[in-house]
Amino acid sequence: MPALHAHPTLTTLEQYEALPEDMRAEVFEGVIYDMASPSQVHQTILTELLVSIRSYLKKKDGRCSVFPAPFDVKLSDKPLTIVQPDIMIICNPNKLDGKRCNGAPDFIIEIVSPGNPADDYIRKLYYYKNYGVKEYWIVDPMRKIVTVNYFNGNLFNIQYDFFSTIKVNIYEDFYINFADIAELLNR
């Protein structure tokens, strides 16, 4: 994820909002980073996870919402930090203003892009943990691994393979069977 601006001037919210609509970008501490377009594998995984999460939320409780990228999450105003997680669950409707989520979602999933795995494993892990995300999954299609980071209460970091059924820890009874997703990828 190369930085677009090498000069020390920090990006403002107005400058970010003025970027071309077709440009996918995130801002970390005032510096804009261009995002690559997602691959077919990425979009297949995203779609399956989104459908699974949405159907659970519809059955379970109406107060939480799920959003796929591109949807902005403003973690900080000064310096400006805006991310576009692949999938997020937001349970506090007061964080939503019609344009974006202001503050940390409860749950985030990032699907690793082959060009820049460090972004999801290092940079975003740091920001999500420090800004109050309760649970963060890193789905790595190349390695066929899902890393679950749970920051609420008992902190843990557990890796699962793509043939596992994985518990969504912010809920008592929500499990995602990755074997179903792995099967789609092998077709």
Cβ neighbourhood burial of 55 (10 Å; 0-12, 13-18, 19+):
exposed
Q: Which pLDDT value is given to residue 26?
A: 84
Asked whether residue 175 is assigned to any structural domain, the reply reads yes
β pairing state of 165-167 and 175-177? antiparallel
Average pLDDT over residues 47-76: 93
18 located within any domain: no
In a domain, 24, yes or no: no
pLDDT at 136: 97
Contact in structure between 73 and 86 (CB atoms under 8 Å): no
Domain count for the chain, please give it.
1
The verdict on residue 136 lying in a domain is yes
Give the residues across from 110 on adjacent strands: 138
**Separation between Cα atoms, residue 91 and residue 93, nearest integer Å:** 6
pLDDT in tens, 125-171: 999 999 999 999 999 999 999 999 999 876 789 999 999 999 999 99
User: Residue 7: is its pLDDT beyond 80?
Assistant: no
The amino acid at 119: D
Domain enclosing residue 180, as ranges: 38-70+83-185
- 152 domain-assigned: yes
Read off the CATH number of the domain in which 138 is found: 3.90.1570.10
pLDDT in tens, 74-116: 999 988 999 999 999 999 999 999 999 999 999 999 999 877 7
Nearest to 74 by CA among 151, 14, 3: 14
Question: Which residue is listed with tokens 């092998």?
Answer: 186
Per-residue pLDDT at 176: 95
Residue 155 falls within a domain, yes or no?
yes
